[in-house]
Chains A and B, each alone.
Chain A
Amino acid sequence: MNAKSLKVDFLARVEGEGGFRVKVKDHLVTEAKLNIFEPPRFFEAFLRGRSFTEAPDITARICGICPVAYQMSACQAAEDAFGAKPTGAIRELRRLLYCGEWIESHALHIYLLQAPDFLGYEDAIQMAKDHPDAVQRGLRLKKTGNAIMTLLGGREIHPINVRVGGFYKVPAKSQLRTLEDDLEWARDAAVQTTRWVSTFTFPDFQRDYEFVALRHPDEYPLNEGRLVSNKGLDIPISEYEQHFAEEHLQHSNALHSALQERAAYFVGPLARYNLNFDKLSPLSQEAAKQSGLGRECRNPFQGILVRAVETVYACDEALRIISSYDPPDCPAIEVTPRAGTGHGCTEAPRGILYHKYSFDERGLILLAKIVPPTSQNLRIIEEDLTEYVSTRLHLPNDRLQWQCEQAVRNYDPCISCATHLLRVRIERE
């Protein structure tokens, strides 16, 4: 038996629609491909001719899990083009809204999508039979994130309160304080999550990745920063296109991103953590240490642990923002459109999300470019699969299949930005 093919037509427990195929011949992996059917390109086309004011709400529709990320990158790009920069309470509220999305998205991924992999269950439903308390904890954590989104965004999915320049309406201090009790519970639950996840067994796997994330001088990156990597990249986001290229590959509707001259790079929680550990709050650093993480982590399977640490951070940060909040005088700063190009890059739960728009003098969009985190991770995922399968060819197909799916889910791929295990086909020659 010297050739085999692993094929998952539709991946389970990832956001959206995708599948993968790994072909093996003569004990060598000859092909590892993720097949993605993804719609962001459609959005780029129908943004043309729309007003800058519509970009945050239209792009938010690309994803039900990370709409805030789309809104934040879109706002930042328009503000960059028009020379506007919200500061103070408006900036803090944006950060708070982003914390809500991180808590919601990370809790979903940790408890419902990825924990079943590590505990040997087919899905969260099977896991809930034996671990009902954990599942309830995960759902309540997620709900706490939702509550921030509802209060600040107007509703929990696809928030409608964000605009270029700030918000349509800002909450009173007393309104924000209603979130505090739940957030304090959530912060404890997130610390408990790091302990729970640290008991999982992680496959021994790491590679020499180039991690790319935002870095800000004063804070763990959410809304703002320079693009940096562990291999020397340090650029303003306006230079993104000079360093990163997208390529269309026939097997995928998603464009694959690469760092020019250096190829694949890794975005998301692991990248943020490795490049910004010093900016985590003391409590989240302590939670990381207690769960056995060092200052650096190169095992993508431990991404779930880093997500848990980031959840602690997001709760901590949300509480900090709420306790020091005083409403801004105006919910938004004035923004006057002008012809030009603007760039936006913020840290979606899954990694950096880049937007670029060119506007005419009325602020109508002439050109839009959106690079979601998942398309930036596609090459790394394919490389991981190649190396992972190469060293585990002795495993039976069903075991290998399981672990390959797990290796893909490490990246929490949001392929709707878009699944389900419909059919798995394993072919051996």
Chain B
Amino acid sequence: MSESTFTTVLIGVGNPFRSDDAVGRAIVRRLFGRVPLGITLQEESGDGTELLEAWKGTDCAVLVDAVQSGAPPGTIHRFDAHAEKLPTWFSHCSTHAFGVAEAIELARTMGDLPSQLVVYGIEGLDFSAGTELSPEVAKIVPFAANLVLQEILRLSAERAQLSNQHQTKSAS
């Protein structure tokens, strides 16, 4: 068995032409070059079937998307996809027919969820046509990126530990 058999992916979701909808991608971009080898960073448009592919075969996935729940702009929501269903408002921000929440539920139904899947929702303000984040949302990006980075490092470390324990057991 190779040293590292677990895989981790960080997925930023959004439409870069719908202002704050792209905040998940902005967060992932901020982390380019700041994550250890073995953690894949990926940007997605939010098409659910692409998401199913993006986390397929991974042990651990963190996904960041823009949401519109009515909370103040920049509010950070966190969900453990294994522990709970995403709230219904989660999918409403998607301009795609089959979005994040649908992909998670379909994967759950078919037994295809990664062992760990944490979803961050960043409350957006402006979803109109445009390529800039609103100032209220842009100012949260550095903090949110750091939070997401800490989460993915923690999850990776946990998985590595589990994997090592498994290898030790196999060897003995």
Q: Do A and B come from one complex?
A: yes
Whole-angstrom distance from the CB of B13 to the nearest CB of chain A? 11
The stretch among B57-65, B88-96, B114-122 that forms the contact with chain A is B88-96
How many Å lie between the Cα of A39 and that of B19 in the bound state? 13
B143 at the interface (CB under 8 A from A): no
Contact status of A420 and B94, CB under 8 A, knowing A64-B45, A123-B102, A143-B53: yes
Residues of chain B within 8 A of A128, CB atoms compared: 106, 109-110
Whole-angstrom distance from the CB of A135 to the nearest CB of chain B? 7
Whole-angstrom distance from the CB of A350 to the nearest CB of chain B? 13
User: Are B97 and A136 in contact (CB-based, < 8 A)?
Assistant: no
Q: What 0/1 readout, one digit per residue, does chain A (147-163) give for beta carbons within 8 Å of chain B?
A: 00000000011100000
Q: What 0/1 readout, one digit per residue, does chain B (131-152) give for beta carbons within 8 Å of chain A?
A: 0000000000000000000000
Closest to B127 in A: A17
User: Are B106 and A108 in contact (CB-based, < 8 A)?
Assistant: no
Contact status of A15 and B96, CB under 8 A, knowing A156-B50, A157-B45: yes
Contact status of A113 and B110, CB under 8 A, knowing A420-B91, A422-B92: no
User: Are A61 and B17 in contact (CB-based, < 8 A)?
Assistant: yes
Q: Which of B61-91 contact A (CB under 8 A)?
A: 91
B126 at the interface (CB under 8 A from A): no
Residues of chain A within 8 A of B52, CB atoms compared: 139
How many Å lie between the Cα of A123 and that of B102 in the bound state? 9
A418 at the interface (CB under 8 A from B): yes
Chain B CB within 10 A, most for which of A13, A146, A416: A416
Q: Which of B12-45 contact A (CB under 8 A)?
A: 15-17, 44-45
How many Å lie between the Cα of A42 and that of B53 in the bound state? 31
Residues of chain B within 8 A of A84, CB atoms compared: none
Residues of chain A within 8 A of B105, CB atoms compared: 125
Residues of chain A within 8 A of B91, CB atoms compared: 420
Closest to A12 in B: B97
A132 at the interface (CB under 8 A from B): yes
User: Are A420 and B92 in contact (CB-based, < 8 A)?
Assistant: yes
Residues of chain B within 8 A of A7, CB atoms compared: none
Closest to B53 in A: A143
Whole-angstrom distance from the CB of B98 to the nearest CB of chain A? 5
Count of chain B residues near A, Cβ 8 A = 26
Whole-angstrom distance from the CB of B89 to the nearest CB of chain A? 9
Contact status of A113 and B97, CB under 8 A, knowing A39-B17, A39-B129, A128-B110: yes
Closest to A112 in B: B98
How many Å lie between the Cα of A158 and that of B44 in the bound state? 11
How many Å lie between the Cα of A39 and that of B91 in the bound state? 20
Contact status of A157 and B102, CB under 8 A, knowing A132-B110, A422-B92: no
Count of chain A residues near B, Cβ 8 A = 35
Q: What 0/1 readout, one digit per residue, does chain A (197-213) give for beta carbons within 8 Å of chain B?
A: 00000000000000000
A344 at the interface (CB under 8 A from B): no
A262 at the interface (CB under 8 A from B): no
How many Å lie between the Cα of A76 and that of B90 in the bound state? 39
User: Are B109 and A129 in contact (CB-based, < 8 A)?
Assistant: yes
Q: Which of A99-119 contact B (CB under 8 A)?
A: 108, 112-113
How many Å lie between the Cα of A232 and that of B91 in the bound state? 45
How many Å lie between the Cα of A113 and that of B97 in the bound state? 8
User: Are B97 and A135 in contact (CB-based, < 8 A)?
Assistant: no
Residues of chain A within 8 A of B96, CB atoms compared: 15, 64, 416
Residues of chain B within 8 A of A156, CB atoms compared: 50
How many Å lie between the Cα of A39 and that of B16 in the bound state? 13
Contact status of A418 and B109, CB under 8 A, knowing A39-B17, A156-B50: no
Whole-angstrom distance from the CB of A148 to the nearest CB of chain B? 15
Residues of chain B within 8 A of A143, CB atoms compared: 49, 53
How many Å lie between the Cα of A65 and that of B109 in the bound state? 24
Whole-angstrom distance from the CB of A58 to the nearest CB of chain B? 10
A124 at the interface (CB under 8 A from B): yes
How many Å lie between the Cα of A125 and that of B112 in the bound state? 13
From B15, B17, B106, contact of A135 by CB (8 A): B106
Residues of chain A within 8 A of B45, CB atoms compared: 64, 157-158
Q: What 0/1 readout, one digit per residue, does chain A (326-370) give for beta carbons within 8 Å of chain B?
A: 000000000000000000000000000000000000000000000
Whole-angstrom distance from the CB of A220 to the nearest CB of chain B? 25
How many Å lie between the Cα of A420 and that of B96 in the bound state? 8
A397 at the interface (CB under 8 A from B): no
A16 at the interface (CB under 8 A from B): yes
Residues of chain B within 8 A of A146, CB atoms compared: 50, 53
The 6 closest A-B pairs by CB, nearest first: A64-B45, A125-B105, A42-B129, A128-B109, A39-B129, A416-B95
Residues of B within 8 A of A (CB): 15-17, 44-50, 52-53, 91-92, 94-99, 102, 105-106, 109-110, 129
Some 27 contacts from A to B, beta carbons below 8 A apart, are A13-B98, A14-B97, A16-B95, A39-B129, A42-B129, A61-B16, A61-B17, A64-B45, A64-B96, A65-B47, A108-B49, A108-B97, A112-B49, A113-B97, A113-B98, A125-B102, A128-B106, A128-B109, A129-B109, A139-B49, A143-B49, A157-B50, A416-B96, A419-B97, A420-B92, A420-B97, A420-B99
Residues of A within 8 A of B (CB): 10, 12-17, 39, 42, 61, 64-65, 108, 112-113, 123-125, 128-129, 132, 135-136, 139, 142-143, 146, 156-158, 416, 418-420, 422
